[in-house]
Amino acid sequence: MKKLFVLFLIPFLLSCSSDELMESEKKDYFSIYKNLIVSDSNKKSTENQLAKQNKNSKWLSKFNQPIILISSADEKIQATLVALGNNQEKLTWVSADGISLTFDNGVLIATRGYTQDLMTMRHKTLKTMFKKRQKDYKKTHRYLNGENDYDDITFICKLSKEVNRNLKILEYSLMADKYTESCKSPRYFYDNEYYLLPKTNIVLKSKQWISPSNQSFFSYNFYAFQKF
């Protein structure tokens, strides 16, 4: 029964406009900034404690605003982020210590607050990335260097798809389509992973590369499972 509830809930959330989603955030707007004033020691303690918590629907019900969860690749450091803004379907999420991530249709396009931030990403096939078979394509990551100028890293990427993959998220087991994006440049390479609800563009879970110094992180789209 729980599985059916989730499958019906997600398309409903998809049908809601971004304006409706952000309207529910206005009540909590100032609380976001109040939470930004957190010491580094408290931040590390909270994140480490969060990594040990059992993530389930009961835990998720404690949040009164849409959230996502991000995690280090080893899953030892985790943090919850709340919705901060929406600009032409590009959603920005912010953590209690001010780190922010911006996604376009579930694909990371910018970060703020990391040691090496992704300023922008140029990706011509982003809008159709999960809709049709992709040939080799280019992506350019832009970073701010120490001379107040930009460093661009251009990758050649290819995308592969696997259907009917079992995905465990919270206490639910869902069938998902897994997309693996393999990208290479003369100096760097990485594999991104995206788990989508079948026949939709809803990214439920992903592993995405930020930068050479920050490497990859996991993100979990928990707001697709929330009720308000």
pLDDT digits (tens, 9 = 90+) for 166-186: 999 999 999 999 999 999 999
Task: Evaluate if residue 139 carries a pLDDT over 90.
Answer: yes
Q: Indicate the residue type of 128.
A: T
Element (H, E) at 173: strand 172-184
User: Which structural domain, as residue segments, surrounds residue 49?
Assistant: 2-225
pLDDT at 132: 74
Which CB contacts under 8 angstroms, 24+ apart, belong to 200-203? 200/10, 200/11, 200/14, 201/105, 201/106, 201/130, 201/131, 202/10, 202/14, 202/106, 203/105, 203/106, 203/107
Average pLDDT in the chain = 82
Whole-prediction pTM value?
0.78
pLDDT digits (tens, 9 = 90+) for 22-50: 444 444 434 443 444 334 444 455 556 78
Per-residue burial over 157-172, b if 16 or more Cβ lie within 10 Å, else e, is bebeeeeeeebebbeb
Positive or negative, the CA dihedral 18, 79, 181, 152 is positive
Reduced DSSP (H G I as helix, E B as strand, rest coil) percent helix, strand, coil of the chain, to 5: 25, 45, 35
Task: Evaluate if residue 60 carries a pLDDT over 80.
Answer: yes
Number of separate domains in the chain: 1
CA 48 to mean position of chain CA atoms: 19
Tell me the C-alpha distance between 93 and 73, whole Å. Answer: 19
Tell me the C-alpha distance between 186 and 62, whole Å. Answer: 46
pLDDT digits (tens, 9 = 90+) for 100-117: 999 999 999 999 999 999
Tell me the C-alpha distance between 190 and 48, whole Å. Answer: 26
What CATH number does residue 156 fall under?
Answer: 2.40.360.10
